[in-house]
A and B are shown apart, each in its own frame.
Chain A
Amino acid sequence: MEAAEPGNLAGVRHIILVLSGKGGVGKSTISTELALALRHAGKKVGILDVDLCGPSIPRMLGAQGRAVHQCDRGWAPVFLDREQSISLMSVGFLLEKPDEAVVWRGPKKNALIKQFVSDVAWGELDYLVVDTPPGTSDEHMATIEALRPYQPLGALVVTTPQAVSVGDVRRELTFCRKTGLRVMGIVENMSGFTCPHCTVSPGGCRGGEAAPGRWGPWAVLGSPPSPRSAPASSPGAAERSWPSSPGCPS
């Protein structure tokens, strides 16, 4: 097994990737919620946003327009609070204009992701949450290769109930198996909506439940219910609940 070289990830205790084959299922939302929940539980958290074409995390945390500065160990991540308990790096911070399109082919994306992994001075972190774009391509391979020496804890795979999403997610589970990335669990997002005028849910098939059994004893973590839930338990537990997030942006 490759030993991790001392570097900017040496002080990071756990790395969690948030993946989905499918776009728009809520990876960035869940990455943000997970990071806030862990911070709420007293942990020091970093978020690495490797969605280079559609970086959503800065907006979700109210950090648009913040600048990235150099420090002696590389790039300083953007700290979201005075206590420096939650930090963030995203290509969104490197764009001159927010509407600027990042029109890069794979090799250039790979190079930036490598830099994000090796050149951001994360310091001491309990958790690094890595938000990814949809798919199983350059960004994902580059991220896993760059993080492999640091032995990521695993991946959370996000889906919605629709069969169209589950299809992509099954491919993502294949990707995880092929790349040796442990799947910590599947999150079924947008499981239901209660019409405020009456009480009907859009439904659809129970997508998150279609995946386990065939793939092993993955825990199906229910989609984040209303904010009034129990505090988060430690990662790896079969059930995960989501605490209320006072810092959660609307």
Chain B
Amino acid sequence: MEEVPHDCPGADSAQAGRGASCQGCPNQRLCASGAGAAPDPAIEEIKEKMKTVKHKILVLSGKGGVGKSTFSAHLAHGLAEDENTQIALLDIDICGPSIPKIMGLEGEQVHQSGSGWSPVYVEDNLGVMSVGFLLSSPDDAVIWRGPKKNGMIKQFLRDVDWGEVDYLIVDTPPGTSDEHLSVVQYLAAAHIDGAVIITTPQEVSLQDVRKEINFCRKVKLPIIGVVENMSGFICPKCKKESQIFPPTTGGAELMCQDLEVPLLGRVPLDPLIGKNCDKGQSFFIDAPDSPATLAYRSIIQRIQEFCNLHQSKEENLISS
């Protein structure tokens, strides 16, 4: 990946190739010629690649640390319990890739084949890709600016040989920036089923999540619904529930009512979830009767129903 200047105006900006900071950039002539404004050929390539992927779900949150990666991983585990369903989990959090750890795949490396990069398989029907697999040490920092991160995401979508997939789950970093814009742009032609947005009950989280909902609306990304995570703490000893993150402004329920988005469910904070993530195991196996497991299963079912409904609508459109 070539280095771009620190003040790069962006290849698709009106100033591309013409700004003061463009002097000396290896891409200056290309940008000045207007090539940057043309649609990226990768979008069509990715559309072709995604033809073997039935459903694409983004897991988003404006807020960090609310459980996006935990949710993405357990959504993948839950869907993969049906051996006939092929699941792909893509981690586009370039700076903080948590998925390898949570899926018990730390230290795994990616292999190249004739048909592209091979994902790392947890089960026969559950493949995973993350920048974490490309680092030589877990302590390596990925200190990349936006354009380089975008390039990586493009490669993940275009060059990974996922094969026939029923569900592609994309775990994202917090925010509304390069990674989010890129994944939406690159998948634009391939059609994303929708986004699942994760929050905790606190207002500090909800205020970022409202922004994320507005981002989805701006880029016309359908919203499958919101999941309120860490919604109550279940004490492993006395089994009673208490509020670690009190919903002082009505929690996700009120936000969803105000913004007219579905609340898919509430997942309580079970300490076993964190422990299993640290060990890289599925929490469902360790605590099949936990209220958190039951909440997850109900949410996963609602997501499947949304995707199947969307698929039927598409099929009706094509046949009509």
Whether A101 and B218, one on each chain, are in contact in the complex, defined by CB atoms closer than 8 angstroms, is yes
Rounded to whole Å, the gap between the CB of A100 and the closest CB of chain B is: 7
Whether A24 and B65, one on each chain, are in contact in the complex, defined by CB atoms closer than 8 angstroms, is yes
- Near B by CB (< 8 A), chain A positions 22-66 give 22-25, 28, 53-54, 56, 59-60
Decide if B154 is an interface residue (CB 8 Å cutoff). no
Whether B175 and A105, one on each chain, are in contact in the complex, defined by CB atoms closer than 8 angstroms, is no
The docked-state distance in angstroms from the alpha carbon of A94 to that of B273 is: 38
Whether B235 and A163, one on each chain, are in contact in the complex, defined by CB atoms closer than 8 angstroms, is no
**In the complex, what residue of chain B is closest to A102 when comparing beta carbons?**
B176
Give chain B's interface secondary structure class: loop
- Near B by CB (< 8 A), chain A positions 169-196 give 170-175, 178-179, 193, 195-196
Chain B residues, Cβ within 8 Å of A164: 69, 98, 101-102, 274, 277-278
Decide if A149 is an interface residue (CB 8 Å cutoff). no
The docked-state distance in angstroms from the alpha carbon of A156 to that of B235 is: 31
Count chain A residues whose beta carbon lies closer than 8 angstroms to a beta carbon of B: 59
Given A21-B95, A23-B63, A101-B215: A174 touches B141 (CB 8 Å cut-off): yes
- Near A by CB (< 8 A), chain B positions 247-303 give 248, 269, 271, 274-275, 277-278
Whether B141 and A167, one on each chain, are in contact in the complex, defined by CB atoms closer than 8 angstroms, is no
- B 120-163 binary contact with A (CB < 8 Å = 1; else 0): 00000000000000000011111111110100000000000000
Chain A residues, Cβ within 8 Å of B69: 164
Whether B215 and A103, one on each chain, are in contact in the complex, defined by CB atoms closer than 8 angstroms, is yes
Decide if B313 is an interface residue (CB 8 Å cutoff). no
Decide if A141 is an interface residue (CB 8 Å cutoff). yes
Whether B237 and A193, one on each chain, are in contact in the complex, defined by CB atoms closer than 8 angstroms, is no
Chain B residues, Cβ within 8 Å of A141: 143, 145
Whether B143 and A103, one on each chain, are in contact in the complex, defined by CB atoms closer than 8 angstroms, is no
Whether A107 and B10, one on each chain, are in contact in the complex, defined by CB atoms closer than 8 angstroms, is yes
Decide if A133 is an interface residue (CB 8 Å cutoff). yes
Decide if B91 is an interface residue (CB 8 Å cutoff). no
**In the complex, what residue of chain B is closest to A135 when comparing beta carbons?**
B95
- Near B by CB (< 8 A), chain A positions 80-134 give 98-107, 109-111, 133-134
Chain B residues, Cβ within 8 Å of A175: 141, 143
Of B34-42, B48-56, B206-214, the one contacting chain A is B206-214
Rounded to whole Å, the gap between the CB of B40 and the closest CB of chain A is: 14
Chain B residues, Cβ within 8 Å of A53: 62, 174-177, 208, 211
Decide if B116 is an interface residue (CB 8 Å cutoff). no
Q: Pick the most buried of A135, A136, A160, A172: most chain B CB atoms within 10 A of its CB.
A: A135
Rounded to whole Å, the gap between the CB of B260 and the closest CB of chain A is: 13
Range class of the B interface residue count: 35 or more
Whether A24 and B10, one on each chain, are in contact in the complex, defined by CB atoms closer than 8 angstroms, is no
Chain A residues, Cβ within 8 Å of B166: none
Whether B203 and A59, one on each chain, are in contact in the complex, defined by CB atoms closer than 8 angstroms, is yes
The docked-state distance in angstroms from the alpha carbon of A102 to that of B214 is: 10
Q: Pick the most buried of B95, B218, B275: most chain A CB atoms within 10 A of its CB.
A: B95
Decide if A227 is an interface residue (CB 8 Å cutoff). no
Decide if B8 is an interface residue (CB 8 Å cutoff). yes
Rounded to whole Å, the gap between the CB of B210 and the closest CB of chain A is: 4
Whether B204 and A102, one on each chain, are in contact in the complex, defined by CB atoms closer than 8 angstroms, is no
Of A4-12, A202-210, A218-226, A231-239, the one contacting chain B is A202-210
Whether B208 and A54, one on each chain, are in contact in the complex, defined by CB atoms closer than 8 angstroms, is yes
The docked-state distance in angstroms from the alpha carbon of A25 to that of B96 is: 13
Decide if A230 is an interface residue (CB 8 Å cutoff). no
Chain A residues, Cβ within 8 Å of B138: 167, 170-171
A-B contact pairs, 13 of them (CB 8 A): A22-B96, A23-B63, A24-B65, A53-B62, A56-B204, A105-B10, A134-B65, A136-B141, A163-B101, A195-B235, A195-B237, A195-B238, A202-B274
Which 8 pairs of residues, A with B, have the shortest CB-CB distance? A24-B65, A23-B64, A106-B146, A53-B175, A135-B95, A174-B141, A101-B211, A163-B278
Having A54-B63, A195-B235, one finds 8 other A-B pairs with CB under 8 Å, namely A101-B212, A103-B180, A107-B9, A134-B64, A134-B95, A138-B145, A162-B277, A174-B141
